[in-house]
Amino acid sequence: MSNTARQQQLHDIIKEKLRPHVRQIDAEGQYPLGYLQALGEAGLYDADGSEPGRSIRDRVRLIEMTAQTCLTSAFNIWCHLAAVTYVGTSDNERLKQEVLPGLLDGRLRGGTGLSNPMKYYAGLDQLYLKAEPDGEGGYRLQGTLPMVSNLGEDHWFAAVAETADHERIVFFLPCTAQGLHRTERVGYLGLNGSATYACVFNQVEAGEQWVLSQDADSWIRQVRSIFILYQIPLGLGLVNACIETMRKSAAIQGGCSQYLAVQPEHLEEALIQLRERTYMLAVSPSLSASWSEVLKLRLQTVHLTLQAAQAAMLFQGSAGYQQNSGPARRLREAYFYANLTPSVRHLEKLNRLLSNQDQGNVTIGQ
């Protein structure tokens, strides 16, 4: 399918399956299942191998276009595509044959419980899951992951657990695994439609068939750039939506908003630059080597997103201060984006360490 046809198809699905439900997703915590399934049925999660890097670029665009309309749904897609990447790049042929096709065509959905390992590798936290070998190539898992999104009955997700010998293993397991207890978490400022659960592992039998990698330390280096690259379009789409709001409300009170410090053209200029760098990285053959650039870009996108969400609110005035207004939702979405691992403080730490490392001062353990 041509690039233009693919974009038109996405545009139509957003219009028909997402836009009418945004209010319920945000205000009532409705999970956007119909939209997520429709994308899979249309083949929009699938990799198009016709040009190198094209599949990553198309997925970045899918997340960006969705985030322009609804960050919750775009975040669910991010979770799903992270999971698709984990399985697609693993050596586990069984998962590739039995689970990956369902993830790609929309029958199954995927999540990623990697916040805790990401924080562990940055020296911010300990690992929450323990793995005990079962003597048959598998493990028994014990512990709790406090928040994992995009979960449900037809869903799988990735998790990292550590053995008593300090080996770290990555698993990809179904939500129906015996001994896994999920409790839905709602009551957040936003993103309540993201199907987020606390996951308690009570002696979960994770057989060899669910092992993505026996060496999580190396595996994480392979996937971390793409994990974070796919987060950047969440912010790009959100900024674009804020700019649109500002332009639409520019004439209020005789155009008085022109005196505000942040104007749509300032945001647009910054957005164009961030977007260009993001799409260049997406088609880059050396994406996994671009770790520091991906981190920098993600941090700059967070700052622009927070600035844009505030500017849109100020442009709209009291109409924006209504509970269900677009600017109010985007402000809540922007704060989620700043707290999503790697959170803004986590990113500031990594950027500082990496710039010190460039000067030869510090070695970070990842």
Residues that bind ligand FAD (CB under 6 A): 79, 111-115, 125, 147-149, 188, 191, 194, 196, 339-341, 343
Alpha helices per DSSP H over the chain:
3-13, 22-28, 33-41, 54-69, 71-88, 93-98, 100-105, 115-121, 216-229, 232-248, 252-255, 264-282, 291-316, 326-339, 344-358
Angle between helices 216-229 and 54-69 (to 10 degrees): 60
Amino acid (1-letter code) at residue 254: G
**Minimum distance, C-beta of residue 54 to ligand FAD, in the bound complex (Å):** 27
**Minimum distance, C-beta of residue 74 to ligand FAD, in the bound complex (Å):** 13
Q: CB–CB of 71/234 below 8 Å?
A: yes
| Residue closest to ligand FAD, measured at CB | 115
**Minimum distance, C-beta of residue 219 to ligand FAD, in the bound complex (Å):** 16
**Minimum distance, C-beta of residue 263 to ligand FAD, in the bound complex (Å):** 31
Looking at beta carbons only, is 46 or 333 nearer to ligand FAD?
Answer: 333
Looking at beta carbons only, is 186 or 252 nearer to ligand FAD?
Answer: 186
**Minimum distance, C-beta of residue 183 to ligand FAD, in the bound complex (Å):** 13
Looking at beta carbons only, is 225 or 341 nearer to ligand FAD?
Answer: 341
Q: CB–CB of 226/81 below 8 Å?
A: no
**Minimum distance, C-beta of residue 190 to ligand FAD, in the bound complex (Å):** 8
| Dihedral of alpha carbons 293, 298, 304, 307, sign | negative
**Minimum distance, C-beta of residue 336 to ligand FAD, in the bound complex (Å):** 6
Task: Read off φ and ψ for residue 197, nearest 5 degrees.
Answer: -130, 150
Task: Tell me the DSSP string of 321-335.
Answer: TSTT-HHHHHHHHHH
Q: Which of 112, 65, 104, 146 is nearest to 228 (CA)?
A: 112
Looking at beta carbons only, is 197 or 315 nearer to ligand FAD?
Answer: 197
